[in-house]
Structure 1
Amino acid sequence: MSDEIILLGTKGGPALREVGAQPTSSLLSLGGKTILIDCGIGVSRSVVEAGTSLLDIDAIFITHLHSDHLVELGPLIYTAWTTGLERVLPVYGPPGTEEYWRSFLQAMAFDHAIRIEDEGRPDIAGMVEIHTLCDDWSAEIDGVSVAALRVDHPPVTDCFALRFDSAAYRVVFSSDTCHFPPLGRFAEGADVLVHEAMLTAGVDKLVARTGGATRLREHLLASHTQAEDVGRIAASAMVGHLVLHHLVPADDPDFGEVDWRSEVSKTWNGPLTVGRDGMVVPIGKASE
């Protein structure tokens, strides 16, 4: 198994458009483990299309409870169960993750019971192990060390960046956050930093075509990181490779890779990848 990141969905926000990227999710292969980070809508199909069976996922991390990171957690696990899952699957997420899972199972009570009776499947309730992220949290997953850092994503207070260390590599995912300098220390020396990014010039157009969200512009500007500041974080951490993820906007034809590179290059001159759905990012081999 190669050490790599597959960007399953690279769009910031929950809206789906006729042509455009899927909401956020990533598949990390590191140290022989397959780890899913976030479960935006469409993630189950994206995992399979990336060539990975749902049964091969070793652990799932949810960075925070915004719907574009959480909404398909239950459906993905449940689909894995109907595909033949027979082992305990660990899920790591912020406070509220366990309540989400219990509520999902309640919604699926009829189908769950009838499949146990009719198909002889094991009770899924005992097959999902929820671990709650918090300040100074860390764990070991069969040789891969994981640590969490609470980042600044108002109004969500339980939102966590994640750092994964194998014997060979370090990979950091920023989660959703405004410009948060402590993230530079957290990501120090990472081989790859996968960081959310926003083009401020594209915010007004995005807000104009998103109905029913009168304060969306205010939220975006307060809660996400401008591309130029993403470069500052990467530079302060001296990372080997910067990957832009959770792009805002991700599906506006007026903004493309040239715009992202132009903004980030003001503060970062190292290897840079502008994410797109389905992109495979080898770890330790920077793509430009």
Structure 2
Amino acid sequence: MLWEYANYRKALVRNRHGVELTVKVQQINGHIYDYTSDDKKGKHTLKITPEALASHNDEIEFKCTIKNSRKSLNILIHPREVLLINYDYFQWHDPQNNLDNDKYVELAPGSEYSVIIKYYDANCNTLGIKLPLSFTFQTVEENPHRFSIVRSINISVGVPDENADDETGPSPFKGKPWPPGIKVMPPVPYKAFPYTHSIPKKYWKVLLYGIDNWHGMGQGNGNDFEIVKEIKEAFEPGYVTAKNYKKYWHIVLWMEEIAQTISLQQYNMENVSHG
């Protein structure tokens, strides 16, 4: 059902086949909640401050009412799991103790049935959470039809509304004007570092063949062997300075770049014409 919710939610949020599903937040002590419902998206959003949540024992109840608007046929409510994701913050129960006991509930035309979804989170200061719901029904007729209606409850605790109007005034952090006679020096032009650094040519051949294999392959001249010696000393300097530390990592990066070049060569194609 969670997979169907993710892929076919736009179709499943609609009231259909004579069944209407409404989700309302339960008012407590006359508190006015910032609660909105988007019927097209099946989205029910509650925004509340941490202080208001704490004043109501850190819990909010949502009443989900199912109504059979058909003229003649009864509707069965399946005792399936309503919450598609198991959050510790949410629980659901049937005040009439029918669906909780895996019983089917049959609704006659014009009748209603309600279940309660409770949100509870102690000492919550900031939260943004979305809970998908699903109710499954079946028509009572010769050829019964099973279908589901889904909704989502979105709770925002202490999270500012990004769509709200910006009511902030001028910034209180303002500096005093510069006194007369102050000369402002222009900034030094920024010189960006180059994005690429080529491998020095004198190191390329030695690193390509490999330091350990250089003698065995009989490669290079006397100057090449001096480069091999230089690289080996850079790998094992015996002590660490800012200069040899920098050189060590330069060589490591050069070797990595050469290794990538060799790896890509396996994808080379021969005798291929451009299409």
Q: Normalised by the size of structure 1, how large is the TM-score?
A: 0.23
Q: Normalised by the size of structure 2, how large is the TM-score?
A: 0.24
Query: For the pair shown, which has the larger CA radius of gyration, 1 or 2?
Result: 2
Which structure: greater helix fraction?
Answer: 1
